[in-house]
Amino acid sequence: MGTSQIAGLGSAARQSALRQAVEDFRAGLKHWELWFALGWHDVHQRYRRSVVGPFWLTISMGLMIGGLAYLYSGLFGQSLERYLPHVAVGIIVFSMITTIVTESSTVFIGSSRTILQTRAPLSIYIYQMLWRSVLIFAHNMCIYLILLPFFDFRLGWVTLLALPGLLLNLVIGFWIGIIIGGLSARFRDVPPIVSSVMQVAFFLTPVFWTPETLKGREAFVYLNPFYYLLDVIRLPLLGEAPPLLMWLVVIAIASASGIVALIFFARYRARIPYWV
Amino acid sequence: MPSIELDNVSVSFPVYSAGARSLKNAMISATTGGRIGNKANHLVVQALDQVSLSFRHGDRVALVGHNGAGKTTLLRVIAGIFEPPSGTVRVEGKVTPMFDTSLGIDPDFTGNENIILRGLYLGMTKSDIMARMKDIADFTQLGQFLELPVRTYSMGMQARLAFTMATCIEPEILLLDEGIGAGDEAFLDKANVRLDSFIAKTGILVLASHHIALIRRFCNKAVLMEHGRVALSGDLDEVLEAYRGGAARAENAGPSRDPLFEGVVA
């Protein structure tokens, strides 16, 4: 904690807005104990008085994976042994992406009480949201661990590539949180728009189908950013290294969203408390 | 040495109607040159108007004024929550805004867990909090209850916990909006003693309140706000006199606004 600071400056310091934005991100990281606790708190709170706790999410996801895999392996004429790992990892990873994007829209609105009463950096609410999503993802990864002995996931060193994939997803999630979170505070019809987009994205992204089945309509896959965000984590978990192009696309998405988020946050950071 | 310096600070709030909150309308008005339904549903409230104030170490400042005069906004500007679009704010020292002592108290969590969460909100680290845990536990006299969820507490016990947590820090600059509730009668004397020493340790206190007795107890300066402007500032008696004169006039016109309730020590 600094003991001396200059808060809230007028027009004279507009040019340092970018520096203040970056300072917010840095100061937010320093408050890790707070968002660590708040993230846990969120997960606990939803299931505080139930016996299996957050695993309710995992159980319902397990049921969904079982049902989808059984039904669609029949419809697509694929063997369950090959199809189920693809669907299972697809749903686990995509649900994390969906959670991050949809909860981005309530990141500032949902914390308005805290924002108006404490002088914490705004980025802590984004870190809190990401941390919560990772915790839920970790719970759901139990499904993966349970399936491991029964299906051929081709585990190997390449599996570890899922970690940089996850990290890149979180970096993108951070920028998305800034952009969507800020826009939602100002325009209250952004949250419903975001949740409908994510619903459609679930069907348009190869979560439970495979790109190969789309003969002649590959554009659906290759122009869809969610495809890259999903498979950069999914492929390693299925024992395959993501191709170089995929890494490049994901890095490009991270950089582009980062630039937009920085400009947006530098310009509107100080307005967000007025909007919530 | 903590200090607060406000120079020509103005804050205005855009009050958006449902229409102005809509992205669709914003896009339509952008494509039509901004003529449709633009300014008509966008009201601006001038919450602070060219406010210049300066407080030094040892100042105990009462902010008085009608509801909506800009007291809370001023506190939020000093706290650094609102950055004013025009004017400058210079604050030296660590600011602790304490507007709602129940912030961060979750009924489903135990007393101990709530103490930690609340401490983190106040900007403490976990080890800081752990170091004070025993002091807090002793003062609340909640004993074993600290291991039970707060929802099992009586109202008085909840208030004790909130009060003790609020007063366990040593703020350089303390911002209070109304008081800190202390709960049941039995606790009140103890709470008063603790509150006095808590305030005494504070470098600068800014207290927004309608409660004259409270202001007289803690403050040595006052600022009267009217419609977002500083109407009068300086000597406590002089400002309170002016405030009461104005309040008396307003009282003839409408009902009293002093939100006094029992069990409140500050």
Q: B162 or A47: which carries more pLDDT confidence?
A: B162
> How confident is the model at residue A7, as a pLDDT?
42
State the total domains in chain A.
1
Length of chain A: 276
As beta bridge partners, residue B43 has B15
> How confident is the model at residue A41, as a pLDDT?
85
The yes-or-no verdict on residue B98 having pLDDT over 90 is: no
> How confident is the model at residue B101, as a pLDDT?
76
Q: What is the count of residue pairs from A and B with beta carbons less than 8 Å apart?
A: 108
pLDDT band of residue A244 (cuts 50, 70, 90) is very high
Which residues of chain A does B114 touch, with a Cβ-Cβ cutoff of 8 Å? none
Share of chain B above pLDDT 70, in %: 85
Average pLDDT over residues B240-255: 67
Q: A105 or B132: which carries more pLDDT confidence?
A: A105
> How confident is the model at residue B258, as a pLDDT?
41
- Which one, of B166, B179, B155, B176, lies nearest residue B124 by Cα? B166
In a domain, A193, yes or no: yes
The yes-or-no verdict on residue A159 having pLDDT over 90 is: yes
In a domain, A12, yes or no: no
Burial of B212 (0-12, 13-18, 19+ CB in 10 A): middle
The Cα A198–Cα A209 span in angstroms is 17
**Strand ranges across the sheet with B42-55:** A4-5, B86-92, B3-16, B42-55
Q: Would you state the structure tokens that stand for residue A27, as one six-digit string?
A: 């100061």
Q: A33 or B179: which carries more pLDDT confidence?
A: A33
Share of chain A above pLDDT 90, in %: 62
The answer to whether the CB of B120 falls within 8 A of the CB of A33 is yes
With an 8 Å Cβ cutoff, are A45 and B86 in contact? no
Chain segment B66-77, per-residue pLDDT in tens: 888 889 999 999
In a domain, A1, yes or no: no
In a domain, A163, yes or no: yes
> How confident is the model at residue B247, as a pLDDT?
63
In a domain, A22, yes or no: no
The yes-or-no verdict on residue A6 having pLDDT over 80 is: no
**Cα–Cα separations (whole angstroms), residue B124 to A30, A31, A205:** 12, 9, 44
In a domain, A3, yes or no: no
In a domain, A27, yes or no: no
The yes-or-no verdict on residue B260 having pLDDT over 50 is: no
Pick A119's closest partner by Cβ from B90, B95, B117.
B95
The yes-or-no verdict on residue B180 having pLDDT over 60 is: yes
With an 8 Å Cβ cutoff, are B81 and A117 in contact? yes
In a domain, A202, yes or no: yes
pLDDT band of residue B249 (cuts 50, 70, 90) is low
The answer to whether the CB of B163 falls within 8 A of the CB of B191 is yes
pLDDT band of residue B190 (cuts 50, 70, 90) is confident
Q: What is the ipTM of this complex?
A: 0.78
Boundaries of domain holding A136: 32-275
Chain segment B200-217, per-residue pLDDT in tens: 889 999 999 888 888 888
> How confident is the model at residue B10, as a pLDDT?
92
The yes-or-no verdict on residue B64 having pLDDT over 70 is: yes
Pick B21's closest partner by Cβ from A8, A49, A187.
A187
The Cα A98–Cα A104 span in angstroms is 10
Average pLDDT over residues A195-211: 92
Disruptive mutation site among A29, A34, A109, A122 for chain B (greatest number of B CBs within 10 Å): A34
Chain segment A40-73, per-residue pLDDT in tens: 888 887 776 676 777 788 888 999 999 988 888 8
pLDDT band of residue A170 (cuts 50, 70, 90) is very high
